[in-house]
Every structure is written in structure tokens, then in C-alpha cells.
Structure 1
């Protein structure tokens, strides 16, 4: 199998915290929202339906597992899950915890004001909470 190559923007914007069965799990570098990104380790794909059927099932399982861990770790009002890919075409799935009254509730997180990078200690503590809940 060829080596997996990640889009430089996904690598730049997210800290790798775990490799699951199919996906890399990364924390998006915007502390305004607890925001995780799942990146299936398959090259040259931009759509979920392009995955092999077994990989589609694994992606669903891993997305649900991560969403549940994020909900437990944050007590969020709502967990948003989406695979948009309009800017970064490489297949990836956003898993975002939303809370009533957050920075842009109930509007979207994309393109809202300026991202606020995590401080290293806070991001590592958040990553540890996610891993504890997986």
C-alpha cells in the first residue's frame, strides 16, 4: 500500500493526537470551539462514497466514536459532524462541539472572525480528555 500523504493545510492546522483504525485524529487549532478532524488515511479521495465499502463503515464507526468522546469530554449542547471539502479537497470529517452561547451560536464556525490558536498546555489537556473518552 502506498504511503499516506496528508494535505499540508490539514497537517498545519491540526495537532495529531491519535491514529485510529482508518483515520488520523487531529485537533483543529482554534480554541473557540472543541474541534476535531478525522482524516481517512487513503490517498487521492475527496468524497466518502469513493472509499471502499468497508472503509465507509469504519469511517462511520470512528466518526461516531469520536463524536461521543467529544460530547462526554465537553458536555456540548450539539455535536456537528461534516465533510465539506470545498477548500481542502482531501477527504476529512469535522467533528465540532457547539454550546449555546459560544462564539457564533447558532451560526456556522467556518469563516467566523479570526481563529484563536490553542496554547500548548490547554491543547494537550484537551487531547488527553478526548483520549480518555475514546
Structure 2
């Protein structure tokens, strides 16, 4: 569990510390660099959140649900966000309020972390029946 918190904190603290173009000298376009950085960030964040959920609940069904949520986040929501972001604002890190909130929901592990209180709520509701 500690490892997942350290990875989440590290990704957050180091998110602006590197650029793939600068660190790897790949000669990527600004858009490609932006997309790859977001993809790496979402995979690291969501994987750390998956480890956290597994360590917290130690339940394969809950971990599978979180994994499915990660797949939706990565393969459906992230592309929608990237299309909106790149078509409206380009690669600027500062976003208009709507895209800023969408960024927080998708790129940060918000969806998976919201699963934790939802599971607790479900368990409380089932225990009261």
C-alpha cells in the first residue's frame, strides 16, 4: 500500500520534470510528446491506484472492477479528453475550467480512487439488509 502512495506522489510531483523530447531526444511533435506524457501518467497513476485497491480490499472481484474502470479511462475517456484538449487549446498545460476538471477526472486516478468509498457504501448498504 505504501508503494502505491509513493508512486502516486512521485507521479504528481514529477509530472512537469521531464519531456520525452528533451529526455530522449526523439524529435517528436509537441502533440505527440503531450499525448505520450499523458498516457504514461495515466498508466502509472491507475496502476498505482489498482495496487492500492488490491492492498486495501484484497478482493479479486473489486480489483477486476477497478481494472475495467482503468481500461475505460485509458481507452475511451483519455482519447476523448485528448481530442478536446488538442483541438481547443493545443499542448498548453493551463486549461479552461471545463477541460481542467476533465483532466483531473481522467488523467489523475480520480475514477479509481472514487471506487473506494463506493465499495464501502455498498458494503454498508448490504450489511443493513
TM-score range, shorter chain: 0.3 to 0.5
* TM-score (normalizing by structure 1): 0.32
* TM-score (normalizing by structure 2): 0.33
Structure with the bigger percentage of helix: 2
Name the larger-Rg structure: 2
